[in-house]
A and B are shown apart, each in its own frame.
Chain A
Amino acid sequence: MGEGIFAAYRGGAAERRLKTVLRSGVLSLLVVFGLWGSGRSHALDEFGQIEDPKIMARYDRITHELRCVVCQNNSIADSNVQLAKDLCRQVRELLLAGNSDEAVFDFMTARYGEFIRFKTPLEGKTLFIWGAPFFMLLLGGTIVFRIVRQRSRMPLDDTPAAGPA
Chain B
Amino acid sequence: MWKFLVPFAAFVVMVVVFAFGLDPKRDIRALPSPLIGKLAPIFNLTDVMDANRKVSNATLKGQVYVFNVWGTWCSACRQEHEALLTISKQTSVPIIGLDYMDERQDGQAWLWQLGNPYAAVAFDHEERTAIEWGVYGAPETFLVDAKGQIIFKFISPMTLDVWEKEFLPRIAAAQRSGA
Q: Report A's interface with B, CB cutoff 8 A.
A: 69-70, 72, 82-83, 86-87, 90, 109-115
Chain A contact residues, majority secondary structure: helix
B136 touches A69 (CB 8 A): yes
Per-residue 0/1 for B15-44: is the Cβ within 8 Å of any A Cβ (1 yes, 0 no)? 000000000000001011111000000000
A70 to B155 alpha-carbon distance, docked (Å) = 12
12 extra A-B contacts, CB within 8 A, seeds A83-B101, A86-B130 = A69-B136, A69-B137, A70-B136, A72-B29, A82-B127, A83-B127, A86-B126, A86-B131, A111-B132, A111-B133, A112-B34, A113-B33
Chain B residues within an 8 Å CB radius of A83: 101, 127, 136
Per-residue 0/1 for B120-158: is the Cβ within 8 Å of any A Cβ (1 yes, 0 no)? 000000110011111011000000000000000000000
A69-B136, A70-B137 are contacts. A111–B127 as well, Cβ < 8 Å? no
Chain A residues within an 8 Å CB radius of B126: 86
A113 touches B133 (CB 8 A): no
Chain A residues within an 8 Å CB radius of B133: 111
A83-B127, A90-B131 are contacts. A115–B136 as well, Cβ < 8 Å? no
Picked from B29, B34, B101, B130, the residue with its CB within 8 Å of the CB of A113 is: B34
A109 touches B101 (CB 8 A): no
A69-B136, A70-B136, A83-B136 are contacts. A113–B32 as well, Cβ < 8 Å? yes
Chain B residues within an 8 Å CB radius of A114: 34
Q: List 29 A-B contacts (CB under 8 A).
A: A69-B31, A69-B136, A69-B137, A70-B136, A70-B137, A72-B29, A82-B101, A82-B127, A83-B101, A83-B127, A83-B136, A86-B126, A86-B127, A86-B130, A87-B131, A110-B34, A111-B35, A111-B131, A111-B132, A111-B134, A112-B34, A112-B134, A112-B136, A113-B31, A113-B32, A113-B33, A113-B34, A113-B134, A115-B31
Q: Report B's interface with A, CB cutoff 8 A.
A: 29, 31-35, 101, 126-127, 130-134, 136-137
A6 to B131 alpha-carbon distance, docked (Å) = 62
A70 to B135 alpha-carbon distance, docked (Å) = 10
Smallest Cβ-Cβ distance to B127: which chain A residue = A86
A86 to B136 alpha-carbon distance, docked (Å) = 11
Question: In whole Å, how far is A27's beta carbon from the nearest beta carbon of chain B?
Answer: 41
Smallest Cβ-Cβ distance to B33: which chain A residue = A113
Which 9 pairs from chain A and chain B are nearest by CB? Answer: A111-B134, A69-B136, A86-B127, A113-B34, A112-B134, A115-B31, A82-B101, A70-B136, A113-B31
Chain A residues within an 8 Å CB radius of B35: 110-111
Smallest Cβ-Cβ distance to A93: which chain B residue = B128
A112 touches B31 (CB 8 A): yes
A111 to B127 alpha-carbon distance, docked (Å) = 13
A87 to B136 alpha-carbon distance, docked (Å) = 10
